[in-house]
Structure 1
Amino acid sequence: MASKQMFVVVVLAIIVVLSSIALATEHVVGDKDGWKIGVNYTEWVKGKTFLVGDTLVFNYDNTTHNVFKVDGDQFKACKLPPAKTADNPLSSGHDVIALKASGKKWYICGTPGHCDKGMKLVINVQSPAGPAPTPAPTAPSALAPSPSAAFRTSAPAILAAASMVGSVLGSLF
């Protein structure tokens, strides 16, 4: 009996780990270039899907840069929010932002002149059950899905398998 219970615990742990991997992606802003002047963040966003539950990671030199979450008007004008808040500015040099709600999100560097030089990022966060993104045209050599796309595609299968395992295990006891 104890071995059945151990099996159930192991299977459930695997399901939890796989489903959390399948449903969340860590987006490193600017990839290897990070958060700095000279990176085209509009191009960086293209082809990426941001979902509730994902995270944004801003890597940068915190003696030179920071990250402010702003609204759309502040973003367009490269204007800082009127007052500092608990989450503005972010200035650790390795800031991780959980994407908790759908909608547009705007970020800028608050160092004078940096936003005007392109240190600004806008993303659109979708609900996990939201509309599927329109696929971008790909070159024949780039047909293999990215690991995050493969995990997201497998998420329904993982959840279905978890349901079936639960049903089977329920009938054992």
Structure 2
Amino acid sequence: MAFTQFIVLAIVAILFPSIMGMDFMVGDDKGWTTNFDYQAWAKGKEFHVGDNLVFKYPVEAHSVIKVNGTSFQQCAISAGNGTLTSRNDVITLATSGNKWYICGVAKHCEVGNQKLFIMVSEDNSSAVRGSIEPLYYGWMMAIFGILMMVMV
């Protein structure tokens, strides 16, 4: 009985991360800053509905604004584009399609190239993803399951 429970929990621990959204730290260890090539950073990564973009930056140094393709090219901010300034902004990718983000501080977009363009796919079945975080959670669930079985 305990072995069967272990097998079921192990399978759940392995499959659960594949259906969770991934967290992508924009710019990795550099974070959201000027003079960084965000297009090179995004190249090769697969973004899917349910994934999260995490923008980290020093307080009052930057902002994150979701814009359309034209505003992205022109580094222009339109009225009504919600500006994020928490320094730890998390954007959940809720729909598929093209997504554009810029910094609205000073000329960070125009001069500092602080802008990001990504394409978001509806399909979340790819085995190769951009973060190891779900694998970590999967192992944590497996360990928790083993501990629960030992305690019972």
SS of the aligned residue for 2:66 comes to: strand
Q: Any residues of structure 2 matched to 1:66-145 within 5 Å, and which?
A: 66-83=63-80, 88-116=82-110, 117-128=112-123
Contact 2:23 2:131 in 1 (8 A): no
Larger radius of gyration: 1
Deviation at 1:12, TM superposition (A): 6.1
Q: Any residues of structure 2 matched to 1:1-173 within 5 Å, and which?
A: 7=5, 11=8, 15=12, 17-23=13-19, 24-83=21-80, 88-116=82-110, 117-128=112-123, 148=131
When the two structures are aligned, how many residues end up with a matched partner?
130
Question: CA–CA distance in 2 between the matches of 1:38 and 1:20?
Answer: 37
Flag as ranges the 4+ runs of structure 1 deviating above 2 A: 10-14, 17-20, 145-149
Per the normalisation by structure 2, the TM-score is 0.72
Per the normalisation by structure 1, the TM-score is 0.64
Higher relative contact order (CA 8 A, sep 6+): 2
Paired-residue identity, %: 39
Task: Give, as a single letter, the amino acid of the residue that structure 1 aligns with 2:15.
Answer: S
Structure 1 unaligned spans of 5+: 133-144, 153-173
SS of the aligned residue for 1:27 comes to: strand
More strand by share: 2
Question: CA–CA distance in 2 between the matches of 1:19 and 1:48?
Answer: 21
Structure 2 unaligned spans of 5+: 136-152
Contact 1:104 1:124 in 2 (8 A): yes
Deviation at 1:62, TM superposition (A): 2.7
Please, which moves more after superposition, 100-109 or 19-28? Answer: 19-28
Provide the aligned C-alpha RMSD in A. 3.0
Contact 2:49 2:124 in 1 (8 A): no
Question: CA–CA distance in 2 between the matches of 1:61 and 1:37?
Answer: 12
Question: CA–CA distance in 2 between the matches of 1:80 and 1:44?
Answer: 23
Per-residue CA distance 1:65-114 (angstroms, 9 max, x = gap): 01001111111110012135xxx111110011111111000000001200
Question: CA–CA distance in 1 between the matches of 2:130 and 2:53?
Answer: 17
Task: Give, as a single letter, the amino acid of the residue that structure 2 aligns with 1:89.
Answer: T
Task: Give, as a single letter, the amino acid of the residue that structure 2 aligns with 1:120.
Answer: K
